[in-house]
Amino acid sequence: MVKNLLKIVSLFIISVAFFSCEDVVDIDLSTAPAKLVIDASIKWQKGTTGNEQTIRLTTTTDFYASTIPTVSGATVFITDGNGIQYDFIETPGSGNYVCTNFNPEIRQTYTLTVIYDSQVYTATESLIEVPTIDYVEQTENGGFTGDQIEVKFFYQDIPNQDNFYLIMFNSSNVSLPIFDVVNDSFFQNNQMFGYLANELEKDDIILFTLQGISESYYNYMNILLGIAGTNGGSPFQTPPATVRGNIVNQTNTNNFALGFFRLSEIDTISYTVQ
């Protein structure tokens, strides 16, 4: 009798423990005041005029939010080193501010100004050139295991200067693009390459994008990519600090915006895995 009673009690405890694991736990996370997020990446595709450019304004939101709030009613413009102003006009209610007469010029200096909620945000950068992607090469013995399909694209480093590049891979076999940043410290004036070996299969389509970037943007992206997990840390670890870009609030420096203003010439090439 005692033995049977112990069995019943044990089963009851196990059942309670099992079903309690299915309870949804809502963690009460503190919400910081919303900050302006400025996505101001001016990209000039080789072979185009580059006249149409878009800057997107949003704000930060709480962890559980399903949508990202957009920002309307801001004044956005870019001024070049010759004093010419390019106005970015919002597509109503979208948070996208569009300019249709932008004039990209290599190594020209540009200053971004965003006026929102009585705050003035500015940033200054130069438009960085990029080499042409020369060709793509596929091998069957790539990756860490030495038996994966590996695809490389090659380009000639711009000679006689320190160069920094942003590489982006869009592959039909993954939902999100893959980013990397490189500098020419060990390859200056020589041929360089970017490569992808991400469980590629025949007929996968890859779009390679090469962008010229400044050293400051290179450092910024290095930090972001490290936080995103390429540093080998835990996916649940807390970022060491808020990553600050080059955008400064001229009205109140403590109320800084997130994001980075940068201008890049870009080249792309599409490749189908053989």
pLDDT surpassing 60 at residue 95: yes
Which whole number is the average pLDDT over 233-253?
A: 72
So what's the pLDDT on residue 265?
Answer: 98
CA distance 210 to 143: 21
Give the whole-number percent of the chain exceeding pLDDT 90: 68
Query: Residue 229 — very low, low, confident or very high, per pLDDT cuts 50/70/90?
Result: low
So what's the pLDDT on residue 22?
Answer: 53
For CA atoms 58, 59, 62, 63, the dihedral sign is positive
Mean pLDDT of the chain: 86
pLDDT surpassing 60 at residue 238: no
pLDDT surpassing 70 at residue 143: no
Q: Work out the number of other CB atoms within 10 angstroms of the CB of residue 144.
A: 7
Query: Residue 231 — very low, low, confident or very high, per pLDDT cuts 50/70/90?
Result: very low
So what's the pLDDT on residue 152?
Answer: 95
pLDDT surpassing 70 at residue 169: yes
Burial 105-135, CB ≥16 within 10 A → b, else e: eeeeebebbbbbeebebbbebebbebbebee
pLDDT surpassing 70 at residue 175: yes
So what's the pLDDT on residue 26?
Answer: 55
**Predicted model pTM:** 0.82
Give the whole-number percent of the chain exceeding pLDDT 70: 82
Query: Residue 150 — very low, low, confident or very high, per pLDDT cuts 50/70/90?
Result: very high
Are the C-beta atoms of residues 262 and 44 closer than 8 Å to each other? Answer: no
pLDDT surpassing 50 at residue 11: no
So what's the pLDDT on residue 250?
Answer: 97
So what's the pLDDT on residue 23?
Answer: 55
Report the CATH fold assignment for 36-128+244-263: Immunoglobulin-like (2.60.40)
Residues 6+ apart with CB under 8 A from 64: 29
Residues 6+ apart with CB under 8 A from 130: 46, 158, 165, 210, 211, 212, 264, 265, 266, 267
Which whole number is the average pLDDT over 88-102?
A: 97
Q: What is the DSSP letter of 163?
A: -
- Look at 152-166, 209-223, 230-244 and tell me which has the smallest mean pLDDT: 230-244
So what's the pLDDT on residue 10?
Answer: 45
What are the extents of the domains in the chain?
A: 36-128+244-263
- Look at 34-48, 83-97, 194-208, 258-272 and tell me which has the smallest mean pLDDT: 194-208
What is the Cα 151 distance to its own chain's centre? Answer: 22
Helix H segments across the chain?
A: 2-20, 215-225
More confident residue, 139 or 146: 139
More confident residue, 36 or 7: 36
Which whole number is the average pLDDT over 147-172?
A: 94
The structure tokens listed for 191 are 């041929």
